[in-house]
Amino acid sequence: MNAVLMAVRRVAPGLVLAGAVAAGAFGARHALGVAALSPMILAIALGVGVRAAAGMPVGLRPGVGLAARTLLRLAVVLLGAQVTLAQVGAIGGGGVLVLAAALGGTFLFTLWLGRALGVGQGVGMLIAAGTSICGASAVAAVRSVTRADDADVAYAVACVTLFGTLAMVALPLAAGMLGLDPAAYGLWVGASVHEVAQVVAAAYQRGVEAGEIGTVAKLARVVMLAPVVMALGLWLARRPGDGVQDGAGEAAVRPPFPWFVAGFAGLVLVNSLLPLPPAVTGAAGLASVALLTVALGALGLETDLRALRAKGLRPLALAGAAWLFIAGFSLVLVRAVV
């Protein structure tokens, strides 16, 4: 019992601080009145700001580290309660093909361009995952197998949020000029916009049909997070010393198998075979967002602003090119299938 109390006392200050940062992020979103604005990006920005202003005392580090890693993994598991395999099937074989091809093509293109631009492999993989799968959630999940450092995570989350927000504004404007019907537009948005909230905001601007198709397509994309992270973890495990860095700046030797992603996939399967009550899925969704916000706030607290500046503008250029690629490539696929 004494050991448990000592452990709680050790992590409590840092957890409280990370929770306060997350609460500040939700408060800021409410004050700004923009529902599509992710509290996660606000949390990571607030965390970086607090770190820059006050530093990171040694006594806070255990709790902040627990929030940045353990709570993050739990949040990813809870994402599985939001989707079912039936939702994936609802968009049809052609729609699933569009999503898979857009995801795979964008991920590989981003890795290739990242190497060509001289962007570090860690931040390049995070941007590839955030753009091709599901924004900050994918960045957080992939970070666990790449062992990218905190500055990489903060930079990648900022990049994918920026270009996801631009996509949320640009795609509804482009739809009219492109002459897309609601079904094609919804699938395009679901296949190419980064965050779930951004997809909902963009898709429903063209009507209920487009909104429903866009939302289901995006949820189907989220399901693909599990196999991508598992495959990436296994691939990296077979390539020791490939240049991906851990938080201490040393070469990663053997990235851990992402058991939390297996938990995510298991929850998707349970929800597909024995549908969870709406109250449970709703609570799990709220808990997932809250935990992700706390975790990314903690990552911000661990990030030194000088490390962000040292990254330069190349990762930003990579994220912009990745966004343009997924938007253009998925549009071509949608026109070929729908």
Query: What is the percent of the chain where pLDDT is above 90?
Result: 22
Residue 230: the pLDDT is 82
Report pTM: 0.72
What confidence tens digit (pLDDT) does each residue in 90-129 have? 788 899 999 999 999 999 999 999 999 999 888 899 999 9
Given a cut of 60, is residue 253 above it in pLDDT? no
- Cα atoms in the 13 Å half-sphere on the side-chain side of 120: 23
- Cα atoms in the 13 Å half-sphere on the side-chain side of 221: 36
Given a cut of 50, is residue 204 above it in pLDDT? yes
Contact call for residues 48 and 305 (beta carbons, < 8 A): yes
Instruction: Count H helices and E strands in the chain, helices first.
Output: 17, 0
Report the pLDDT averaged over residues 218-236: 83
Sign of the alpha-carbon dihedral angle for 38, 41, 43, 45: negative
What confidence tens digit (pLDDT) does each residue in 138-167 have? 887 888 788 778 788 888 888 887 888 788
Residue 251: the pLDDT is 41
Other beta carbons within 10 Å of 170: 15
Which amino acid type is present at position 304?
D
Contact call for residues 22 and 294 (beta carbons, < 8 A): yes
Given a cut of 80, is residue 314 above it in pLDDT? yes
Given a cut of 80, is residue 61 above it in pLDDT? yes
